[in-house]
Each structure stands twice: as C-alpha cells, then as structure tokens.
Amino acid sequence: MIELVQIEKYYKRKQVLAIPSFSIESGAAYGILGPNGAGKSTLLKLIASIEKPTKGTLYFNGQPYRHVLKQVRQSIGYIPQDIALYPELTVTQQMDFWLRLSWKQADQNFLKKMKRTLRLDEVAHKRLNELSGGWQRKLNLCIGMIHNPNICLFDEPTVGVDIAAKEDIIEWLSTLHNEGKTLLYISHDRYELERLSDHYVVMANGTMLFHGDKSLLQRNKDTILQHDSSHQELTKILSHL
Amino acid sequence: MYLSLHLRKWKTKSVRSLLAITFPLICFFLVYPFMQTTVQDTAVPIALVDEDQQEFSELMVERLYQEERIRIQLMTLEEMNHVVQTGEVEAGFVLEKGFTESVHNGQINDSIRWIRSERSTFDPFAKELIGAELMRIVLSSKAANVVSGEGVATWEEAYRYAESFWQPTPLFEMEFEQRNQNNPSSSSPVIQISEQIIFALFLLYAWGLGLVLFPSIIREKNSGIVQRIKLMQHHLFYYYAGKWLSILIAVIVTYILSSFGMLLVIPTSLWLPWVIWGVCVLAVTVTICYGLFVLCRHSKNVLVVIGLYSLGSFIMYMMVLSSIDLGGMEVASFFPHVWFGNNPLTYLGGIE
C-alpha cells in the first residue's frame, strides 16, 4: 500500500529522520510511540505528502509519490496536532467550507456517522473560538477526514482533551479501524495504544527502533529497551504494553 | 468561496473591520473643522489706522472688513508700528487725516500710507485690494463732482448713481486660476496641492491596511490551515488568489470610502479622476507587493521592507510636490505615490 524506502529527512543539514525501509499494511492500526524529537510527526508529514524526503522515495501502490500525488492526497486524511481551522467560523460553517474545498464527493452516510459519534451536532452553531479544547480537537479530526480517506494519520489526536472527548475520539478511531481503514497515530497514552493498535512503531532520535505487530513487540521489548534506555517515557510505556 | 469566507470573517469582527476601513474618513471629519479654520487663518492679516474718521475713510474700513482674503485689524498708529515690527500683521495702512476731503476733490496722491517690514510677503496683495477700493470711491466721487458741477443732479444723487454701477457685481473682476501642472494649456480646474496630499495620505493608509492583512497567511500557515488546503485542493492557487482578491477589495473600499470626505472640499468632476486613478495605482501596488510577499515565502522581513517602502513612497511624493531636486526625478518613478501624483486623467481635463 505505502512503502518508504531509504528515507532521510534533513532540516538545515541536521538529520531528523532516517528510515531504511517501512511498509504500511492495509487495514492495520499503527500506534507510533517515542520520546519528543524522535521524528514521529515528521514521519506522518512525509506519508501525508506535506513534506518531501531529502533522500529516498515513498511509494503508493507501487508508484512513486510524485507520480500519483493526487491519488495519495485523495486517499490520505491527515489530522495535525494544531487546530487547523478558522476560529471565526461555526462548526456548520467549517464543515460546509471544507466540504466545498474537497475535491472528493462527500459521503453523506460517513459524515453523518462521524458527526454522530463525535457528537458535533450539539455544538453545530458555535464558533470554533467558543468551543473547549476537546470540541475543537474533535472538529479538527472531523474536518481532516471529511473526504472519507482510506488511510488516516493522526498526530496526537487526544492530547489535552477531557475524558468524555477522549472517549468519543477513541470510539471513532475504533469504528474506522473496524471498517478496515488504515490508521497511523502518534500517542503517549498507553491506554489508547493498547485499545486501538494492532501494530506498533517505536521511534527514537530520528530512527525506527521497531515496527511490527503486538506479539512481535512483546518478544522484542527487552531488545528495544536495551538499545535505547535513555528515554524514561518510552521505557515506561513499553514496560506496560 | 474564499471571498465569502473572508467576508464572513470580517463580519464576525464587524466593529474592528468597520473602524479599520473608515478610520481615515473619521480622521478627516475630525480634522475638517480645523481645516476650515486654517483656511480662514490664511487670510492676510493687515493693520489699518483711520486718522481721518470721516465719511469715505469709514466707508473704506467697512468695505475692507467685508473682504475675505484680508483680515483687517483697526488700531492706533503706535499699535500698528508695533505689530508690523513684530510680524503679527503683514503690513499696515494709514488713512491720513483729510482723506475724505481729498477724495471729494479727486486728489488721491499721498492719501494712504503703506507701512511694511522686511518680513512682509503678502502685503502687495492687500495693497491691490485697498487700491481697488480707493479707486472705486474716487471714481464715483469724481463722477459725482462732474455731474453736480453741471447742475444736472445733486452730488449725493450723482454719487449714489455712480455707485450703482458697481453693484451687484463690479464692472470688471480679476480672476485667479490655478492651471494643471501637467497640462498648462488646459483651462480645466485642478485640485490644490494640499488636497492632493490628503488623497496621497488615504492611499498610504489603504496600502498600509493591505500590508496589515498580508500576515494572515503566516498565521494560517503556522496553524496548519494552508497545509490542510494543500492536501484538500492539491494546490494553493485558489487560496492565494482568494486572499489577494479579498485584500484588494478591502484596500479599494477603504480608499474610496476615505475619499468621500473630499467631496466636501472639491467638486465631483475633480474628485472622480483622483479616486479612479488612486484605485488603479492601489490595485497595481498591492498586487505587486502581495506577489513579492508570496514569492518570498511569506517572510516578515519582506513585509517590513514593503512597509518602509510605502513610507518612502509618500515622502518621495512630498519631495516631488515641494520641487526638491531629485537628480532628474528618475528615482521618483519607482514610487507609487509619484505615479499617483502624475494622474493622467487630469491631462484629459477631468471627468465631467
């Protein structure tokens, strides 16, 4: 589906990411974990085609990204950590605006289901700057997926939200996973990772220490920790998984 | 779509948006009464001493008081000498004792004394006005002398009859006309330099407002909105075009709205060419600046440079208006305010 080959990314001569090889399986849910500065967000941005790798190539269904960029962007939904929305618009106005902007025909059933699960109808006429952090994040997530993508990339989708909003978001991600969509999401929350992921990617210092399914992670946990035990947070999450 | 988005955004901050686009107009209305006072203050101050205090000298004083272009201050000779020396008045005139009698006899030589200082500049203008009034009285008086001498009518009757020829309008008037600097052969009226400066200030404000709106791209880029649009639309052409159009509309509306105040000062036929040409200059200028800002990847430094350039443009225009030597004026052609000043629509003699 998506394949990364010999990827390197530099910011002003500083290497921030180096991935020899990584393939994303269709329908899998990848939990990406690692300390700050590990290159997790950069990895998602490369996959989302927001940024280009300095070296190496990304492939989509066997084709280099640059040849099928339009298809890539149609198939991928990227939800950034920042609230990438207009603060002056109401929830309904945001939906209308981004729907009109999207090149893909809206799937009304999908939209209805998403709005229902995330309970966005309750705040339909409120402006973004009148909403709490939890509602803003749910709307941000909804807009990022408005075109019903098959591959969903989430950069810490539940960071800084209240428990109720977090539950809504996790429930929606579970629904997507059950529908067969491919998920990649960054999280520092063990509970969230356990509930949603069937595959894991462990990153540190711009490299991928591990990628594979849950059972493989269990078998390699000690090796990963031996390799990089300098990050307390990573150690803590891994020991509980 | 982007246009309606920006309109909606402005609507949510309606008070701030309205204040931003009407600010120059509000300032104009606040300053306008003082401008009127300034115009009154521009009347040349003249000191007058009436040593005669008879019929014709009092008539002279009364008529000179009605003259808008000079401001008469009646005083004693000592006071006049003082105010002329201190420069409080441009000059002083003394209606000598026996003035009425001299005029009655048709003798006007040495009937008025003119006192001025080295600082006096505009007093010859006052001298012309006083001379004109004196001539009017003398001519009527001389005519009355001749007619009454022949016994056709009394002196008073003849004098009143002669005076009637001066009213309601004088037999002849001197008209002053400011010609178009670009097209001196055209007799069409032109606007004053001070009025051009006000238009140029409106242009500067509207341009500045455009520059204030540019950084919204930086904010939207930092918040990830631009990335999201790029993912959804595959390109950013419509985003940039929509932004450009909305900024352009904002600056043009601001300029036109501001210029409406000038209708209190100048007629529509003079106002229209400056508004149309201002809109053209503004559209080209804002488009070039916007293009530069986008091409330089939304750099704040570029914005600062453009801001300084806009101020420089206004200063350059002021220098051109002040006829300061700019080495053949070639450098001036790089500044939008100078393009604005060379309004080709005024070559056509204004728009009726």
CB B284 within 8 A of CB B336: yes
Q: Which residues, given as ranges, of chain A have pLDDT below 70?
A: 104, 227-231, 233
Q: Give the chain B residue nearest A70 (alpha carbons).
A: B234
Q: Between β-strands A55-60 and A14-24, what pairing exists: parallel, antiparallel or unpaired?
A: unpaired
Domain boundaries, chain A: 29-44+84-240
Domain A29-44+84-240 has CATH 3.40.50.360: no
Which of B164, B199, B225 delimits the end of a domain?
B164
Average pLDDT over chain B, rounded to an integer? 82
Four-point Cα dihedral A100, A101, A105, A111, nearest 10: -70
**Cα A217 from chain centroid?**
20
What whole-number distance in Å separates Cα of residue B89 and Cα of residue B307? 43
Residues of B in contact with A82 (CB under 8 A): 222-224
**Cα B108 from chain centroid?**
39
**Which of A69, A89, A98 has the CB atom closest to B232's CB atom?**
A98
Q: Which residues pair with A79 in a beta bridge?
A: A154
In this predicted structure, what is the pLDDT of residue B255? Answer: 95
Helix (H) or strand (E) run with residue A185 in it: strand A182-186
What whole-number distance in Å separates Cα of residue B216 and Cα of residue B202? 23
pLDDT at B188 over 70: no
Same domain as B343, residue B205: yes
In this predicted structure, what is the pLDDT of residue B115? Answer: 81
What whole-number distance in Å separates Cα of residue A164 and Cα of residue B142? 106
The domain that holds B130 is classified in CATH as 3.40.1710
Confidence label for B251 from pLDDT (cuts 50, 70 and 90):
very high
A205-229 per-position pLDDT tens digit: 899 988 898 888 888 777 777 766 5
Domain-located, residue B186: no
CB B321 within 8 A of CB B197: yes
Domain-located, residue B184: no
Domain that holds residue B65: 44-164
In this predicted structure, what is the pLDDT of residue A46? Answer: 95
**Which of B9, B222, B232 has the CB atom closest to A86's CB atom?**
B9
Q: How many CB atoms lie within 10 A of CB B276?
A: 14
CA distance B301 to chain A (A): 20
pLDDT at B327 over 70: no
B252-297 per-position pLDDT tens digit: 999 999 999 888 888 888 889 899 999 999 999 999 999 999 999 8
Same domain as B206, residue B73: no
**Cα B189 from chain centroid?**
13
| Number of domains composing chain B | 2
pLDDT at B179 over 50: yes
CB A165 within 8 A of CB A138: yes
Nearest C-alpha neighbor of B279 from the set B211, B329, B345, B331: B345
Q: How many CB atoms lie within 10 A of CB B232?
A: 22
In this predicted structure, what is the pLDDT of residue B110? Answer: 76
Say yes or no for a CB contact (<8 Å) between B1 and A100.
yes
Q: In chain B, at which residue ranges do the beta strands (DSSP E only) sit?
A: 44-50, 70-74, 91-95, 112-116
Confidence label for B351 from pLDDT (cuts 50, 70 and 90):
very low
Q: How many CB atoms lie within 10 A of CB A105?
A: 9
Say yes or no for a CB contact (<8 Å) between B234 and A101.
no
pTM (2 decimals)? Answer: 0.70
As a whole-number percent, the residues of chain B with pLDDT over 70 amount to 85
Say yes or no for a CB contact (<8 Å) between A103 and B227.
no
Say yes or no for a CB contact (<8 Å) between A102 and B234.
no
Same domain as B54, residue B23: no
